[in-house]
């Protein structure tokens, strides 16, 4: 028999498991050893060797190696070996850089890997989907992605979208009954749920029947392997730029060679010098350093609780000009406590803090017994019944497992001494219509001990008011006349204006013959009992984060399903509603087209009582106004808006799998302040990339120009090929990487967002590269000429001095690159990585100059102390000359 044909008991028997308790930890370990991880095989990975060899496939490197071999055959053994050694070391560096980049990307992927709720040793727990095994009891609900193949044992209005497997995009309804149909197709198996498919409605429990490659998805895994690695716009732009730079570097090098030969230099020497120069000047390491800077930045973001799912988001973050954020849980703490009850014109206060189930009930400062007041008793009882939350004691603190709103209702009932266990002895739950944020309510059909059935509905009070026919007033049912409606409306507004989140509770008795086919049948003609009002305090850090965003030219917009007045009260507390900014609600939004919204959207700061589909409209309207929009969301219905926004953000704790998959950034702590940190980091990463692009290119310009000028002046080579290669290796490697780790400049969150189309050389970067490079070239040439003309017989000594000047000028210039302004704008020791990198580069330079072993290899001679003065002064000129002009310009 197949699993879909068996009844529940037989499935349990066949898989040796129990739905009530799940598997035991020991059993899980045993099974996992047997069947392995629940993962799909990944495609072939590039082997380390291939990656290493690929470091040398660059055209100029091949030419250099060939030229070196020729020089080796001609007897220049030492030169040849040294050059090959340097090329190899360079290759290793590139290899490790790329490896590291790849590893950290892989680690990222694992961090955002899907999770599954399983029951083990009787407890429900969330585990990485990789650890699920055959026989595990799993639970899933709307918005979840199914983690393995599952035989459904319990289904509540369960619908699953299986287009990944069947191509059918309309979700299929699921049930738990055994199937009798012979040879059903995959699409007919409506008591099975398959790995990779998506729950779009309801919830369910099931037993895992297959994992990993032994699932329906596993069978077609080859087809769905998409090893898509996204590159960021900047990476692509740099790639294009790299191609242009290669051509420019080659042309300039050719010019150097031609001029050199024309002025009587030996062709072979000029050829090798040209090739070395080309290898040094072509910034082949740039893409790897960019990836590393991006992934290191991404790791820094993880430490600040933001996981980047799609690398391009790192860059887009720096361009964000609007953040549309959910209120509940993101701006507020999502720790709800009922403080007020309202029913039939009376208000009660509830004392106590947080989820601590201790507190009393008061009416006008007098303590009352809530069980004795009928409407209070009903409000609390029904709030507890129509509820899935559980209260747990964790590290001496009460926490809610489930929806915090329901947690608050659970706690208010507990304060009155009511428990669900006792209630469930009197009432049985027959049907359930789960909460969704479009309907803004949920309902249950309940049967009491006497067999009487009734509907309980809880949800947004204004919504419930619309579908109620009467209201309990002084324990009597009264028809909802306009006057009663006004009274209830006033009560809602009065609670909301105290920043309270409100939940109304209503019910209706059913006749024996009443059939409740769907939620529409349940949710009409209700009797409104009353309202529970709960506080959800703002997160303390959010106000400051919103202020910082404002200074950074980023507008914060609150989007919430809550009541307009509640939203407004909280927005005021958080500093969102300032300077005549407006608040509008879902109803008004419904009547507006995207174009109409676009005209006024810049003035709106709060959208209240919205449904998820409004979010899409909001994103589009902002985008049409030219904004780069970050949009948060957690539910399955938020996915389209998250996807459409420029930076889709999902919640790590409360987010559904679907929302997470649609997003490019996940907030591990669901906190708004984390978005601000991520934006700051995003801006910083971009600036750091600019810093090392500037450093590397200016250095390269300097290297080419010193050679070109020397050739034009008919001088000997100021630096020889092996020295150029060394400069390329040492100064380009560590210091450039260290720049990628630089801290942000103080004003990083004080400027406007960057324009997304901004080019690599924008904001005078091109000018900085050329001018600094030019100066580095000139001072190196001056150092060379000064020493050379003192004693033209000692060319090698002049070359050593030029070499030292070139290295030092670059190493001083690297500090200049830390600021958009000048070297003096920042503490030069602020980036210790950079200081260490520069010191070790200087040390390596001294080794090459002073250690006798290296002198014949690098053709160096020990530099005398008096000449160091010249070298140091000259190499400081580019940086300080420009700092001086910057200072003068600023003063003027
Ligand atoms: P956001 O997270 O977007 O700031 P929200 O969490 O307040 O907004 P929803 O969860 O869609 O938005 O809730 C909208 C309204 O639905 C709430 O104001 C509340 O009245 C009602 N509501 C929320 N949760 C439940 C629930 N579990 N059962 C019944 N009604 C609920």
pLDDT reported for residue 356: 93
How far, in Å, CA of 247 to CA of 242, rounded?
9
Q: Would you place residue 536 in the very low, low, confident or very high pLDDT band (cuts 50, 70, 90)?
A: very high
Give tens-digit pLDDT for 769-807: 999 999 999 999 999 999 999 988 899 999 999 999 999
Which residues in 50-144 belong to E strands, given as ranges? Answer: 115-120, 123-128, 137-141
CA distance 267 to 253: 14
DSSP reduced 3-state for 157: strand
Return d(Cα 855, Cα 858) in angstroms, integer. 5
Domain covering 1-227 in this structure, CATH number: 2.70.150.10
Share of the chain above pLDDT 70, in %: 95
Atom 13, ligand 1: which residue's CA is nearest? 561
Sketch the domain layout of the chain as residue ranges: 1-227, 232-302+680-745+758-891, 306-332+539-670, 337-515
Indicate if 144 belongs to the active site. no
Predicted pLDDT at 770:
93
The rounded distance, in Å, linking the Cα atoms of 677 and 541 is: 12
Tokens of 658: 């679907």
* For helices 832-850 and 721-740, angle between their N-to-C axes, nearest 10 degrees: 160
Catalytic residue among 326, 403, 462, 657: 326
Give distance in angstroms: CA of 436 to centre of ligand 1.
8
CA atoms of 569 and 827, how far apart (whole Å): 44
Name the phi and psi angles at 510, rounded to 5: -115, 150
Contact between 207 and 11 (Cβ < 8 Å): yes
Q: pLDDT digits over 91-111, tens only?
A: 787 787 667 666 766 665 666
Question: Ligand 1, residues 384, 460, 566, 574: which to mutate, most atoms within 8 A of Cβ?
Answer: 460
Give the model's pLDDT for residue 227.
38
Residue 701, pLDDT above cutoff 50: yes
Assess contact for 589 and 582: CB atoms under 8 A: no
Residue 732 has pLDDT above 80, yes or no: no
pLDDT band at 636 (very low <50, low <70, confident <90, very high): confident
pLDDT of residue 293: 80
List all residues 6 or more positions away from 272 whose beta carbon is below 8 Å from its beta carbon: 67, 68, 71, 721
Q: Which atom of ligand 1 is nearest to the CA of 562?
A: 18
> Ligand 1: which residue has its CA nearest to atom 5?
561
Average pLDDT over residues 411-423: 94
For the cut 80, the answer to whether the pLDDT of residue 16 exceeds it is yes
pLDDT band at residue 113 under the 50/70/90 scheme: low
pLDDT of residue 299: 81
Residue indicated by tokens 């590039």: 46
Average of per-residue pLDDT values in the chain: 88
Cβ contacts of 110 within 8 Å, gap of 6 or more:
none
Which three-class secondary structure state does DSSP give residue 213?
helix
d(CA 877, CA 867): 16
Residue nearest to atom 19 of ligand 1 (CA): 460
* 8 A C-beta contact, residue 801 and residue 845: no
Nearest atom in ligand 1 to the alpha carbon of residue 634 is 2
Region 616-643 average pLDDT: 92
Distance 414 CA to ligand 1 centre (A): 22
Three-class DSSP category at 267? helix
| 310 vs 787 pLDDT, higher one | 787
pLDDT of residue 111: 60
- Taking 70 as the threshold, does the pLDDT of residue 44 lie above it? no
Residue with the nearest Cα to atom 2 of ligand 1?
328
Helix (H, G, I), strand (E, B) or coil at 393: strand
Residue 460 CA, closest ligand 1 atom number: 20
Amino acid 285: pLDDT: 65
Per the DSSP assignment, residues forming a β-bridge with 457 are 443, 506
Question: If you average pLDDT over residues 198-222, what whole number do you get?
Answer: 85
Taking only the tens place, the pLDDT of each residue in 537-552 is 999 999 999 999 999 9
d(CA 848, CA 275): 22
**What pLDDT sits at residue 228?**
44
Question: Is residue 338 within a helix (H) or strand (E), and if so which, with residue range?
Answer: strand 337-343
Give one DSSP letter per residue of 128-144, joined into a string.
Answer: EGGG--TT-EEEEETTP
Q: Which residue has the higher pLDDT, 444 or 77?
A: 444
Candidate of 334, 402, 503, 571 to mutate for ligand 1, largest count of ligand atoms within 8 Å of Cβ: 503
pLDDT for 59 equals: 67
Please name the residue whose Cα sits nearest to atom 22 of ligand 1.
459
Output 612 or 140, whichever has higher pLDDT.
140
* Residue 438 alpha carbon to ligand 1 centre in Å: 9
Q: State how far the Cα of 210 lies from the Cα of 192, in Å rounded to an integer.
A: 11
C-alpha dist (Å) from residue 750 to 551, 628, 675, 753? 5, 18, 16, 9
Q: Say which range, 231-235, 320-324, 334-338, 786-790, has the weakest mean pLDDT.
A: 231-235
Q: How far is the CA of 560 from the centre of ligand 1 (A)?
A: 8
Q: If you take atom 3 of ligand 1, which residue's CA is the nearest one?
A: 560
Q: What is the mean pLDDT of residues 213-240?
A: 67
- What confidence score (pLDDT) does residue 68 get? 74
CATH label, 232-302+680-745+758-891, candidates 1.20.1110.10, 1.20.950.20, 3.40.50.300, 1.10.760.10:
1.20.1110.10
Q: Which helix (H) or strand (E) holds 817?
A: none
Whole-number pLDDT of residue 224: 44
74 pLDDT exceeds 70?
A: no
Strand partners, 208: 150
- What is the C-alpha to C-alpha distance for residues 111 and 103, in angstroms, rounded to an integer? 12
Q: What is the mean pLDDT of residues 232-241?
A: 76
User: Quick one: tokens of 377?
Assistant: 């008793």
Residue 499 has pLDDT above 70, yes or no: yes
> Does pLDDT of 223 surpass 70?
no
List, in order, residues 6 or more apart from 584 with CB less than 8 Å away.
604, 606, 607, 608
* Ligand 1 probe mutation, 323, 328, 491, most atoms within 8 A of CB: 328
Lowest mean pLDDT among 138-147, 285-294, 841-850: 285-294
pLDDT at 267: 85
Q: Which of 203, 407, 408, 437 to mutate to test the pocket of ligand 1 (most atoms within 8 A of CB)?
A: 437
pLDDT surpassing 70 at residue 751: yes
Helix, coil or strand: residue 822: coil
Return the pLDDT at 108.
59
Report the separation in Å between the CA atom of 605 and the middle of ligand 1, taken as the mean of its atom positions. Answer: 19
452-471 pLDDT tens trace: 999 999 999 999 999 999 99
Protein fold of 306-332+539-670: Rossmann fold (3.40.50)
561: its two tokens? 């399903």
User: According to the per-residue pLDDT averaged within each range, which of 101-110, 162-171, 204-213, 651-660 is highest?
Assistant: 204-213
**Cα 744 versus chain centre, distance:** 19
Share of the chain above pLDDT 90, in %: 57
pLDDT for 430 beyond 50: yes
List ligand 1's pocket residues with C-beta within 6 A. 326-329, 403, 405-406, 435, 437, 440-442, 458-460, 501-503, 559-562
If you average pLDDT over residues 588-596, what whole number do you get? 92
d(CA 799, CA 867): 13
Other beta carbons less than 10 A from residue 421's beta carbon? 6
Segment among 116-125, 130-139, 337-346, 734-743 with least mean pLDDT: 734-743
In this prediction, residue 226 has a pLDDT band, given cuts at 50, 70 and 90, of: very low
Report strand pairing: 468-473 vs 476-479. Answer: antiparallel
Phi, psi dihedral angles at 881 (to 5 degrees): -60, -45
Question: 464 CA distance to ligand 1 centroid (A)?
Answer: 13
Question: Nearest CA to 606 among 561, 651, 637?
Answer: 561
- Ligand 1 geometric centre to CA of 435 (Å): 9
The CATH code belonging to domain 337-515 is 3.40.1110.10
pLDDT tens digits along 248-302: 888 888 998 899 999 888 888 888 788 888 877 777 667 767 777 887 788 888 8
Query: Which residue, judged by its Cα, is nearest atom 12 of ligand 1?
Result: 561
């Amino acid at each position: 028999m197949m699993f879909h044909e068996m009844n529940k008991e037989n499935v349990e028997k066949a898989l040796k498991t129990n739905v009530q308790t799940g598997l035991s930890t020991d059993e899980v370990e045993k099974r996992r050893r047997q069947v392995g991880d629940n993962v799909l095989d990944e495609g072939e990975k590039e082997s380390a060797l291939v990656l290493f060899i690929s470091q040398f496939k660059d055209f100029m490197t091949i030419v250099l190696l060939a030229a070196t071999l020729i020089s080796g055959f001609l007897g220049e053994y030492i030169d040849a070996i040294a050059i090959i050694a340097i090329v190899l070391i360079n290759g290793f560096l590139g290899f490790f850089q790329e490896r590291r980049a790849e590893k950290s990307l892989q680690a990222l992927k694992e961090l955002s890997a899907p999770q599954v709720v399983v029951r083990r040793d009787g407890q429900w727990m969330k585990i990485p989907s990789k650890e699920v095994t055959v026989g595990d009891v799993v639970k899933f609900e709307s918005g979840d992605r199914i983690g393995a193949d599952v035989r459904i044992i319990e289904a509540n209005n369960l619908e699953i979208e299986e287009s990944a497997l069947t191509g059918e995009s309309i979700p299929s309804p699921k049930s738990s009954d055994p199937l009798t149909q012979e040879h059903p197709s995959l699409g007919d198996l409506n008591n099975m749920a398959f790995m990779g498919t998506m729950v779009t409605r309801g919830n369910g429990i099931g037993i895992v029947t297959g994992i990993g490659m032994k699932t329906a998805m596993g069978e077609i895994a080859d087809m769905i392997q998409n090893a898509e690695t996204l590159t960021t716009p900047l990476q692509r732009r740099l790639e294009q730029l790299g191609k242009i730079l290669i051509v420019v570097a080659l042309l300039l090098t050719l010019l150097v060679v031609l001029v050199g030969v024309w002025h009587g230099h030996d062709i072979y020497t000029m050829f090798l010098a040209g090739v070395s120069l080309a290898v040094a000047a072509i910034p082949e390491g740039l893409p790897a350093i960019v990836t590393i800077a991006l992934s290191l930045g991404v790791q820094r973001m993880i430490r600040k609780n933001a996981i980047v799912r799609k690398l391009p988001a790192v860059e887009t973050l720096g361009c964000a000009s609007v953040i549309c954020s959910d209120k509940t849980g993101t701006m507020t703490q999502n720790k709800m406590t009922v403080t007020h009850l309202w029913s039939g014109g009376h208000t009660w206060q509830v004392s106590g803090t947080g989820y601590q189930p201790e507190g009393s009930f008061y009416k006008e400062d007098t303590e009352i017994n809530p069980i004795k007041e009928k409407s209070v008793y009903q409000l609390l009882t029904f709030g507890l019944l129509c509820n899935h939350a559980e209260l747990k004691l964790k590290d001496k603190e009460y926490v809610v497992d489930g929806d915090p709103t329901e947690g608050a209702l659970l706690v208010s009932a507990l304060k009155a001494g009511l428990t669900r266990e006792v209630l469930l002895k009197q009432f049985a739950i027959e049907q359930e219509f789960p909460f969704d944020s479009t309907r803004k309510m949920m309902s249950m059909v309940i049967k009491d001990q006497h067999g009487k059935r009734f509907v309980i509905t809880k949800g947004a009070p204004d919504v419930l008011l619309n579908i109620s026919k009467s209201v309990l007033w002084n324990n009597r049912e009264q028809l909802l006349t306009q006057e009663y409606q006004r009274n209830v409306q006033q009560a809602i507004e009065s609670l909301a204006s105290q920043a309270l989140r409100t939940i109304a509770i209503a019910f209706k008795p059913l006749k024996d013959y009443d059939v409740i086919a769907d939620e529409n049948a349940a949710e009409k003609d209700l009797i409104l009992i009353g309202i529970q009002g709960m506080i959800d305090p703002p997160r303390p850090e959010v106000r400051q984060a919103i202020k910082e965003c404002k200074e950074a030219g980023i507008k914060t917009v609150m989007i919430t399903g809550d009541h307009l007045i509640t939203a407004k009260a909280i927005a005021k507390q958080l500093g969102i509603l300032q300077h005549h900014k407006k608040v509008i609600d879902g109803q008004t939004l419904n009547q507006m087209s995207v174009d109409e919204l676009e005209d006024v959207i810049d003035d709106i700061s709060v959208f209240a009582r919205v449904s998820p589909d409004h979010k899409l409209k909001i994103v589009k309207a902002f985008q049409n106004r030219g904004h780069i929009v970050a949009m948060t969301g957690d539910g399955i219905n938020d996915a389209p808006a998250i996807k459409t926004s420029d930076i889709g953000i999902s919640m790590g704790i409360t987010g559904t799998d679907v929302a997470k998959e649609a997003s490019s950034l996940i907030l591990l702590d669901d906190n708004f302040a984390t978005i601000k940190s991520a934006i700051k980091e995003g801006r910083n990463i971009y600036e750091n990339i600019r810093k090392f692009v500037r450093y590397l290119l200016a250095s390269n310009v300097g290297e080419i120009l010193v050679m070109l000028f020397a050739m034009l002046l008919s001088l000997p080579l100021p630096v020889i090929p092996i020295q150029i290669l060394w400069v390329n290796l040492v100064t380009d490697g560590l210091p450039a990487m260290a720049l990628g780790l630089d801290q942000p400049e103080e004003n990083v969150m004080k400027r406007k967002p960057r324009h997304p189309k901004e080019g690599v050389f924008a904001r005078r970067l091109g000018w900085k590269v050329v001018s600094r490079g030019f100066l580095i070239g000139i001072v190196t040439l001056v150092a060379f000429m000064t020493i050379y003309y003192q004693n033209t017989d000692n060319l090698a000594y002049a070359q050593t001095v030029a070499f030292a000047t070139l290295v030092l000028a670059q190493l001083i210039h690297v500090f200049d690159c830390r600021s958009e302004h000048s070297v003096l704008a920042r503490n030069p020791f602020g980036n210790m990585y950079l200081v260490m990198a520069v010191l070790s580069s200087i040390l390596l330079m001294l080794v090459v100059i002073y250690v006798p072993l290296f002198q014949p290899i690098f053709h160096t001679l020990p530099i005398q102390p008096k000449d160091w003065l010249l070298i140091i002064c000259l190499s400081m000129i580019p940086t300080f000359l420009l700092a001086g002009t910057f200072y003068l310009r600023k003063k003027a």
